[in-house]
């Protein structure tokens, strides 16, 4: 078993070839180990090969089960090369998991243009390019599943994370539409919408008051919470997975009735700021 993984609670599936993005940290890094534990072969990708090699060594990913490939998800031609690499080295592509993401808190009037490009290029275009490339390989074989990671910020708009929320709204809308397009070709598309997850992306938000709503939940999800949800999705092939359901239900209500957001958000923001302060105190005492 690769270091950093936990015993899977989901039903073990037949071995598949899985291409995963964002594998140098966070959810992607953990997910590779979980997939290997389940018996799958993995093509682990991230922006730089050097970072991947360091993570592979630290996690003990078996070379015979995990292939490493650099991939800039913003580049459609790089996506074509990654799919070709997977097919040539593994003989198949059963599952694509679009995990790579980018986030920087900020109010729109303080935001530089480059941040607009980064959020849309990585979070939205990266998923669209990847889905497009994988679908072109899967449709002729009438087989495959694409899992796109969105966020609860794709359901309820999050002030202070407006660019991230917008990019993930686009991911969710695109994925739900594509799920209907590809269903007739026997290719499943699942959108996974988690609440805040304990990753480096969450750590960087602690120092931003704009990100207070991120910390307003009763608990932070672990990377394994998300990994286990993904494993269940590979078995059940739902169109959408929301975790946890309590926060997801609140997000759905706020999305359906935006006018109540002005009442709910100040309360959640105060709770989030208190949580941020608690995290900061923990850092200083560590």
Classify burial at 172, counting beta carbons within 10 Å of its beta carbon; exposed 0-12, middle 13-18, buried 19 or more: buried
CA 134 – CA 95 distance, rounded (Å): 9
Residue identified by tokens 């997000």 is 251
Q: Has 164 been annotated as catalytic? A: yes
Q: Any idea what the Cα angle at residue 104 is, between residues 98 and 105, rounded to 5°? A: 125
Q: Which of 102, 107, 164, 208 is catalytic?
A: 164
Q: Any idea what the Cα angle at residue 243 is, between residues 239 and 248, rounded to 5°? A: 90
Cis peptide before 244 (omega within 30 of 0): yes
Token duo for residue 179:
């799920």
Token duo for residue 273:
């700021």
Token duo for residue 276:
């941020």
First to last CA, the chain: 30
* Active site positions, annotated: 164
């Amino acid at each position: 078993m690769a270091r950093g993984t936990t015993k899977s609670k989901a039903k073990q599936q037949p071995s598949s070839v899985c291409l995963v993005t964002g594998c140098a940290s966070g959810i992607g890094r953990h997910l590779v180990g979980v997939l290997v534990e389940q018996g799958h072969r993995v093509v682990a990708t991230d922006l730089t090969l050097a970072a991947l090699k360091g993570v592979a060594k630290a996690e003990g990913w078996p070379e015979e089960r995990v292939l490493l490939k650099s991939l800039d998800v913003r580049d459609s031609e790089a996506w074509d090369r990654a799919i070709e690499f997977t097919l040539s080295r593994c003989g198949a592509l059963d599952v694509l998991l679009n995990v790579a993401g980018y986030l920087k808190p900020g109010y729109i009037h303080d935001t530089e243009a480059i941040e607009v490009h980064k959020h849309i290029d990585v979070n939205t275009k990266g998923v669209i390019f990847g889905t497009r490339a994988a679908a072109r390989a899967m449709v002729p074989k009438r087989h495959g599943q694409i899992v796109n990671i969105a966020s609860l910020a794709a359901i309820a708009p999050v002030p202070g994370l407006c660019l991230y929320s917008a990019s993930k709204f686009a991911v969710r809308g695109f994925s739900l539409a594509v799920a209907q397009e590809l269903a007739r070709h026997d290719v499943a598309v699942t959108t996974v919408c988690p609440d805040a997850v304990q990753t480096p992306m969450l750590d960087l938000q602690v120092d931003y008051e704009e990100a207070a709503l991120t910390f307003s939940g009763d608990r932070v999800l672990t990377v394994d919470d998300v990994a286990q949800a993904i494993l269940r999705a590979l078995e059940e092939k739902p169109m959408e997975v929301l975790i946890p359901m309590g926060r997801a239900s609140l997000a759905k209500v706020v999305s359906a009735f935006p006018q109540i957001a002005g009442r709910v958000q100040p309360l959640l923001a105060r709770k989030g700021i208190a949580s941020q302060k608690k995290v900061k105190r923990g850092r200083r005492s560590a």
